[in-house]
Amino acid sequence: MMRTACYFVLWLLSSLAVWGTNKPFEDIESLKDPKQIADSYSAIISRYYNSGDIDSLKIATYAYMDWCISNNREEAKYQSWRQYIQRMTEKGMQDESIKETALLQKDAEKNHSKYGLASSEMCIGYNHRVFGNNLDLCVEYYDRALVLFEEMANYDDAFVVYLNIIQAYLATSEYAKAITHLGHLDHLIKVMQEKDHKLQSNLLMKFYQFRVIATIADKGKNAAKKYISETDAFYEKDNSSATKESWFGYKILCARTMGNWSEVLLYLDSLQSYHKTIGAC
């Protein structure tokens, strides 16, 4: 059954360029299993997200949100919506992103959705960071989202917000503030473990990597040694937690932060060799 579903998604994606706008979504919803429907939508949305085709991404996102509304999947609806807004923000579409964020917020208020309001706060914060270069306002809105997610015990979403805050501080070289929030996130991880809440390996890897980079930058390599070892061990145990490209990128950033340029060149060579093996260059 799972193999059949995968074949269906691949066939559907290959047909999108030929079919009319609504045909793929009609065929998705002809499926009986809700998980297959959600996975099929996710595959299409991911394709357009990665390609940067905003017009098609909007069509797919809104079709999925309509299905979420019909099937009482509030969180999935707002997750998809904020992802669409994030992609517009990344592409520098300021007016469109702000307008769509306002629509999300209005919808959340109308439906008395705490989750939707938290999602809108995330989008507003990201817009302030990208369009206004205003880190203080960015973190202020991220903090609002964080409070709401933690009140609802939406641990995965809270985890993502913490990572966004930490990444913002790392990008502006405010390493002490990044370390403070890494401490808060470490506490959240312990809470999740105590409650037997499954930790997503890709998110946990980002936490490990951010902790290494912030510690090296703020306190030096020796202070980061145990964190470096812990991150390496985690990757060896679960190499699906990071793509090869992102792993090499992390190693390059660590070496650059330490001022070890020979190691930077070594990892750049390794990255280039990897790209050659997969035919990417």
Q: What are the pLDDT tens digits along the chain (281 aa)?
A: 444 444 434 334 433 433 334 445 667 767 878 898 898 899 899 999 989 999 999 999 999 999 999 999 999 999 999 999 999 999 999 999 999 999 999 999 999 999 999 999 999 999 999 999 899 999 999 999 999 999 999 999 999 999 999 999 999 999 999 999 999 999 999 999 999 999 999 999 999 999 999 999 999 999 999 999 999 999 999 999 998 888 989 999 999 999 988 888 887 888 888 777 777 65
Burial (CB count <10 Å: 0-12, 13-18, 19+), residue 249: middle
Give residue 157's pLDDT.
96
Give dist(CA 218, CA 212) in Å, integer.
Answer: 10
Give dist(CA 123, CA 102) in Å, integer.
Answer: 10
Confirm if 215 and 226 have CB atoms less than 8 A apart. no
Give residue 266's pLDDT.
84
Which residue, chain included where needed, has tokens 């991911």?
46
SS3 category, 209:
helix
Give residue 180's pLDDT.
97
Token reading at 168: 């913002």
Among candidate residues 53, 145, 39, the one with its CA nearest the CA of residue 101: 145
Confirm if 149 and 186 have CB atoms less than 8 A apart. no
Confirm if 199 and 189 have CB atoms less than 8 A apart. yes
Residues with Cβ within 8 Å of 158's Cβ and at least 6 positions away in sequence, in order, are 146, 149, 150, 188
Give residue 272's pLDDT.
82
Give residue 135's pLDDT.
92
Give dist(CA 257, CA 237) in Å, integer.
Answer: 25
Give dist(CA 172, CA 195) in Å, integer.
Answer: 34
Give residue 28's pLDDT.
76
DSSP 279: T
